Structure 1
């Protein structure tokens, strides 16, 4: 294995796995596998890039650090020459962590300094300019992310925000340096490392910038960022003839399907509205879930009743609705209750023979993917075709495989649910 990725949630893991598997023309990508948690044994010999899916984004800091270091140990045992710590392209975090503490622990373990910090993903409108993170033409803290129920982002200056999470210095490589080329970026990173900065925020406003940064990071042992930071990395190994790459095969799956949406982002709410305008949908009443009046059996019954009609279960709501529920029951209790509900629902669907599930929301995707993986004996996740930028289909198992689409809340076109199921296969 050449590249190892430690992803802080499941949607981010499939996002960067998709990037590594595709690569860029003419070289293409790497033979990539995604793992639901840290594997117990060695990876298959043909795997050139391995992505470990953790659920550490909102975990307690000590737990997130410990899990990430354990993932690092396994990846290094597989022979990885380059490690990526992957977080969301909207830098989902809090002033305490977890991006800074996890990144710092990994850097100390690898004796790395001047470690790149670049959440940019221009294809979906995430860019970094003068150290500030934008969502299309809007600063991060005005994009709706300031209302995120778990990781509200109130400061678009990644340098300033990251400095609150680490005791080490945070440097910056400006857009003008990136435009000057890979050698200029590499020199600037070396200067930052020499100055004692552990992290360096690097501007990127286009895919060309990401390719330039990727070339500059040819020999970097540790990189952090969104999935876009991996865009130019496969070709470094392919050009050195260290990797052969490979195309994955994909076959559509028949049988019933279901959609589970637990994101409150504007994009997901729009997708829910469009889908339920023509297909059956069930809105989860959180107080009734907490009181025990709505269970996974309730949701599974609704899905089975509407089999063949692309049934949707959702808990999405406006920021005001979410805040009201959190004030009633507590943020942690609401999140844990919904995660458990969606996980149990997915598990029961698999037992009922469902083999196609579309999931919206990072935390929801993590809960569902882990439940499905556990039910199937934790198989390696194979990367299938891309539905929308950053969202591939994942295939779990052989013989009677399960197809999953794990969508970050803000990703996907308005008709994402319909398109995802169409690519997975007819009922």
Structure 2
């Protein structure tokens, strides 16, 4: 393939053809020739001005040091494996970590894991590690270890804003012990340019399992932290039961002051806050926050501090069925694994076919639903109660 990107075609035409390929194929085709490697590797190369940035879904099915995360392109239904994070010889079983994207960089922060150096060995401890993967410079190579969190945590709210990442609340809860774990009220900020964490004003009360987003206030940008659990009560004087938070805490990013907003729903309306997705506004518009509660999608009305029904799913989700809820390119995606025909507890019959995903897509602007299914690279269904999701634009 000497003398041009594609023999017989001008380079500008060939570049348009290459730019239309899925991002997963671009990385694989770099080894075709030197000219393709040069065109497809450089972040400011020939294709950068021709490709329209695409919103991709990043799926972490389990501990990212053991199983690789994947990028999923919903426009082409293509999957691309990413490198695993460095494996520690002392820790294992990482869960409740938070992936978040800032620009074309992907971050994995915190979590809860088991540490062979801790006592007792069979109890999980919060993780302070943070990793970064740059997806702009051609094919992703390896994760970079950043500075540790000042206060180790998992199950926390994480929000990217500019060149910063804010983390709020959290604790030491692990997926294997769903009723245990500590709670935190501390808040930290990561400077993505230096990779260092700084402490900011703490929340008025401890909270874990919460979600967060940034919204424009009257005088400054504000960090909103909602949902999660704080205090707990005992059942029969023995078992702990979480008391879920119905209120919202808001911090001004410039002033650093917190204020508390009243409850978002009445007693008996719902048990806890469901999965939340934020649709970013275009051309400076205010982002819109949506929540998935059973089979309904609710829109958050900021002025009223209430959740209002937006639409209902076209395919119902049964109680206890895991599902993912994310915002991609201005649309809401509800992901549910297709039911498998075999018994996963029967080790004598391992699956020989890859599972598929049911995807329900809702456009808040047009109020139109789309339904599709996509094959996955996994041989077992994704448990979205334990998996971690985020979106990134490349």
TM-score, normalising length: structure 2: 0.29
Which structure: larger Rg?
A: 2
Which has the larger strand fraction? 2
Which has the larger helix fraction? 1
TM-score, normalising length: structure 1: 0.27
Higher relative contact order (CA 8 A, sep 6+): 1
